[in-house]
């Protein structure tokens, strides 16, 4: 409804001003032709804007709201970006370091959205992207004291979840119930999916292991803020407790907990369809094993606050791993599910080698038992000529094992020195490829190294490339990796072919109408803040749902994005997309 009102207002203001520039962001000041990180830049960091190619050869920087020019520079020559078929020039103002609020002008073209230069320029969006997980909590009300204007009633108690016949055992008969409350809603829908929780939690825990001092003092204003556990870990515990309830007595883990079909766009309290846990699967069980193993070493430091948790997690992890060894090919095949048939997200993955490697590696690091190291087989995967490692995504998780091995390298240099060298070299080699592309790319970003980057959830690819580069930076302290990671953060916050900042609530032209049931069904104009939209996706699997909203302007891979709630293929949000954004933005804050 609120969208319709906006469009009517927009139409009348168009008649009055003849500006023809009524963007869904509601403001009209920025030029569509100058694309930059709408939040801003670090004084010592790289600063680039991308400008539509024209005759212009220079750019100017002004203090915001003042006529005072503070910097000028030459634009680069024009270059084509194949993913949007644009010719663009770059404005590099990295040497301008003075903190303040600015706009960038290109004579004859107009001015950019405002931006800031400051030491902690990304702190607020970085923090909001963590708080976004609080807004995704299931089974609880979000009171105004924590959720502000996005307060809402509780829904999805999940205290009586039915066992689907695909998951039935002698002890847990089909149709009997278990309690499996808490957890985060996966995305714009209200499902809770173990596979996707796996990579999400692994990424968040990795941030914690890499930057504990920064996170220990971060205040999120959540219900647990007054206990003696860092808020960041309290938030992850909310999902971890749910995950723990998804393990069956035999060690196997249910693939997901959802209603049989997606609910309409209602608030959680009104989404009352029966919920089910379905078939146990090898990938869900292995992702669970990896997360609980990693969690067990993190919570070992909180024995007083959480007595026994760390030990329990390790027991659960080993049990899950053993189940997967015994059931190594349990694919989740949604088509086979009947009575009821199930049509919610499948997260179906048929190659479990990477999940085995990740789980075994995390178990090795938490137990120091050699057998897990041997079973992980990282060494032979690194030696093989095949492309065994990639930027992580929900079905490809073994690079998370490389990150963990590299992070804990000092513990293991004695026994596995040469392997650990190979692990580090692999991370650096992958980072080098991204860096090399970034140097020659028209947009100056690692994002776009391959046309395949633009798939469903493409923004998580950009964020995960950033995480990879930051891992390489942590190993080498080579600032080029840090800067290239920063370039991908710039991409996500505005320096991209759509000109959108894809983080809700941040940037003058930011995502306003995500496919996100709470944001759609509440009466609040603004979407829940801190959520990362999936981003450009030329697959346009939602085309039928969006009528004629896709136009010629969306025809290229990097422009195939519409800020409309119908667009579940380009404008949904998801926990596995937010998590690498959380890592990227917060790691940069911690490092800079």
Position 187 contacts ligand 9MR (CB under 6 A): yes
Stretch that binds ligand 9MR, among 19-27, 183-191, 354-362, 417-425 (CB under 6 A): 183-191
Q: Phi then psi for 367, rounded to 5 degrees?
A: -110, -20
Whole-angstrom distance, CA of residue 335 vs CA of residue 464: 31
Query: Using CB atoms, what's the residue nearest to ligand 9MR?
Result: 345
- Contact at 8 Å (CB) between 189 and 345? yes
Give start and end residues of each alpha helix (H) in 245-338.
282-299, 309-326
Q: Which residues are catalytic?
A: 189, 515, 563, 572
Minimum distance between the CB of residue 501 and ligand 9MR, rounded to whole angstroms?
A: 20
Whole-angstrom distance, CA of residue 535 vs CA of residue 459: 5
Position 457 contacts ligand 9MR (CB under 6 A): yes
Q: Give 258 or 381: the residue with its C-beta nearer to ligand 9MR.
A: 258
Minimum distance between the CB of residue 189 and ligand 9MR, rounded to whole angstroms?
A: 5
How many whole angstroms from its chain centre is CA 63? 33
Whole-angstrom distance, CA of residue 117 vs CA of residue 267: 39
Of 405, 507, 384, give the one whose Cα is nearest residue 115.
Answer: 507
Stretch that binds ligand 9MR, among 185-193, 215-223, 401-409, 496-504 (CB under 6 A): 185-193
Minimum distance between the CB of residue 152 and ligand 9MR, rounded to whole angstroms?
A: 19
Whole-angstrom distance, CA of residue 358 vs CA of residue 380: 14
In sequence order, the 6+-apart residues with CB closer than 8 A to the CB of 347 are 193, 195, 196, 255, 256, 283, 332, 394, 395
Position 532 contacts ligand 9MR (CB under 6 A): no
Q: What angle (nearest 5°) sits at the alpha carbon of residue 333, between those of residues 331 and 336?
A: 140
Q: Give 120 or 343: the residue with its C-beta nearer to ligand 9MR.
A: 343
Q: Give 448 or 514: the residue with its C-beta nearer to ligand 9MR.
A: 514
Q: Give 508 or 542: the residue with its C-beta nearer to ligand 9MR.
A: 542
Size of interface with ligand 9MR, in residues (CB under 6 A): 12
Position 293 contacts ligand 9MR (CB under 6 A): no
Whole-angstrom distance, CA of residue 344 vs CA of residue 258: 7
Minimum distance between the CB of residue 41 and ligand 9MR, rounded to whole angstroms?
A: 31
Q: What residues between 14 and 33 interact with ligand 9MR by CB under 6 A?
A: none
Whole-angstrom distance, CA of residue 151 vs CA of residue 176: 33
Minimum distance between the CB of residue 471 and ligand 9MR, rounded to whole angstroms?
A: 22
Stretch that binds ligand 9MR, among 46-54, 76-84, 360-368, 566-574 (CB under 6 A): 566-574
Q: What residues between 330 and 349 interact with ligand 9MR by CB under 6 A?
A: 345-347
Q: Give 30 or 530: the residue with its C-beta nearer to ligand 9MR.
A: 530
Position 456 contacts ligand 9MR (CB under 6 A): yes
Minimum distance between the CB of residue 196 and ligand 9MR, rounded to whole angstroms?
A: 7
Position 574 contacts ligand 9MR (CB under 6 A): yes
Measured from the Cβ of residue 72, the count of other Cβ atoms closer than 10 Å reads 14
| Residues in the chain, total | 592
Q: Phi then psi for 101, rounded to 5 degrees?
A: -110, 130
Q: Give 352 or 456: the residue with its C-beta nearer to ligand 9MR.
A: 456
For 524-535, letters b (16+ CB in 10 Å) and e give: eeebbbbbbbbb
Of 183, 348, 203, 215, give the one whose Cα is nearest residue 290.
Answer: 203
Whole-angstrom distance, CA of residue 49 vs CA of residue 115: 11
Minimum distance between the CB of residue 518 and ligand 9MR, rounded to whole angstroms?
A: 14
- Contact at 8 Å (CB) between 134 and 155? no
Position 271 contacts ligand 9MR (CB under 6 A): no
Q: Give 86 or 349: the residue with its C-beta nearer to ligand 9MR.
A: 349
Of 329, 343, 325, give the one whose Cα is nearest residue 278.
Answer: 343
- Contact at 8 Å (CB) between 446 and 437? yes
Q: Give 310 or 453: the residue with its C-beta nearer to ligand 9MR.
A: 453
Position 189 contacts ligand 9MR (CB under 6 A): yes
DSSP state of 100: E
Q: Of 572, 575, 587, 591, which lies in the binding site for ligand 9MR, with binding defined by CB under 6 A? A: 572
Q: Phi then psi for 137, rounded to 5 degrees?
A: -65, 135
Q: Give 349 or 419: the residue with its C-beta nearer to ligand 9MR.
A: 349
Whole-angstrom distance, CA of residue 165 vs CA of residue 10: 52
Of 439, 397, 401, 441, give the one whose Cα is nearest residue 422.
Answer: 401
Strand order in the sheet with 48-52: 34-35, 48-52, 86-92, 79-81
Stretch that binds ligand 9MR, among 29-37, 323-331, 552-560, 567-575 (CB under 6 A): 567-575
Position 522 contacts ligand 9MR (CB under 6 A): no
Q: Give 51 or 574: the residue with its C-beta nearer to ligand 9MR.
A: 574
Q: What is the CA radius of gyration of the chain?
A: 24
Site for ligand 9MR, rule CB under 6 A: 186-187, 189, 191, 345-347, 456-457, 568, 572, 574
């Amino acid at each position: 409804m609120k969208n319709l009102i906006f469009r009517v207002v927009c139409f009348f203001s168009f008649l009055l001003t003849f500006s023809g520039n009524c963007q869904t962001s509601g403001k009209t000041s920025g030029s569509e032709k100058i694309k930059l990180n709408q939040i801003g830049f670090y004084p010592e960091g790289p600063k680039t804007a991308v400008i539509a190619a024209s005759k212009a050869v220079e750019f100017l920087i002004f203090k915001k709201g003042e006529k005072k020019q503070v910097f000028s520079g030459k634009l680069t020559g024009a270059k084509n970006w194949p993913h949007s078929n644009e010719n663009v020039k770059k404005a590099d103002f990295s040497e301008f370091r003075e903190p303040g609020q600015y706009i960038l002008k290109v004579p004859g073209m107009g001015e950019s959205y405002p931006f800031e230069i400051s030491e902690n320029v990304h702190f607020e969006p970085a923090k909001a992207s963590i708080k976004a997980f609080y807004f995704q909590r299931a089974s609880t009300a979000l009171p105004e004291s924590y959720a502000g204007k996005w307060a809402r009633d509780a829904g999805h108690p999940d205290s009586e979840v039915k066992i689907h016949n695909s998951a039935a055992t002698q002890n847990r008969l089909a149709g009997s119930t278990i309690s499996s409350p808490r957890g985060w809603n996966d995305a714009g829908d209200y499902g809770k999916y173990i596979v996707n929780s796996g990579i999400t939690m692994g990424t968040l825990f990795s941030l914690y292991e890499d930057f504990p001092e920064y996170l220990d003092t971060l205040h999120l204003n959540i219900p647990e803020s007054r206990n003696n556990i860092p808020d960041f870990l309290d938030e992850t515990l909310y999902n971890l407790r749910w995950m723990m309830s998804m393990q069956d007595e035999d060690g196997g883990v249910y693939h997901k907990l959802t209603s049989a079909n997606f609910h309409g766009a209602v608030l959680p309290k009104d989404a009352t369809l029966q919920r089910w846990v379905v078939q146990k699967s090898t990938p869900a069980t292995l992702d669970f094993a990896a997360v609980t193993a990693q969690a067990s070493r993190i919570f070992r430091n909180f024995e007083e606050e959480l007595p026994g948790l760390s030990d329990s997690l390790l027991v659960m992890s080993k049990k899950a791993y053993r189940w997967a060894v015994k059931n190594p090919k349990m694919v989740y095949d949604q088509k086979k599910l009947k009575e009821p048939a199930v049509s919610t997200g499948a997260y179906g993955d048929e190659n479990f080698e990477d999940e085995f490697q990740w789980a075994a590696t995390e178990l090795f690091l938490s137990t120091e038992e050699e057998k897990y190291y041997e079973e992980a087989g990282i060494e032979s995967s690194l030696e093989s000529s095949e492309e065994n490692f990639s930027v992580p995504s929900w079905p490809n998780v073994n690079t998370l094992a490389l990150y963990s091995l590299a992070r804990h390298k000092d513990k293991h240099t004695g026994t596995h020195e040469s392997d650990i060298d190979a692990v580090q070299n692999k991370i650096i080699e992958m980072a080098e490829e991204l860096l090399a592309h970034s140097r020659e790319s028209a947009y100056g970003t690692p994002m776009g190294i391959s046309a395949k980057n633009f798939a469903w959830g493409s923004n998580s690819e950009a964020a995960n490339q950033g995480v990879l580069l930051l891992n390489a930076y942590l190993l080498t302290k080579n600032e080029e990796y840090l800067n290239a990671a920063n370039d991908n953060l710039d991409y996500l916050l505005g320096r991209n072919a759509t000109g959108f900042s894809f983080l809700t609530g941040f940037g003058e032209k930011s995502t306003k109408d995500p496919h996100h049931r709470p944001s759609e069904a509440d009466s609040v104009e603004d979407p829940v803040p801190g959520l990362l939209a999936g981003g450009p996706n030329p697959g346009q699997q939602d085309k039928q749902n969006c009528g004629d909203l896709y136009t010629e302007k969306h025809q290229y891979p990097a422009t195939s994005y519409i800020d409309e709630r119908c667009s579940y293929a380009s404008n949904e949000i998801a926990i596995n997309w937010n998590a690498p954004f959380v890592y990227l933005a917060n790691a940069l804050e911690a490092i800079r």
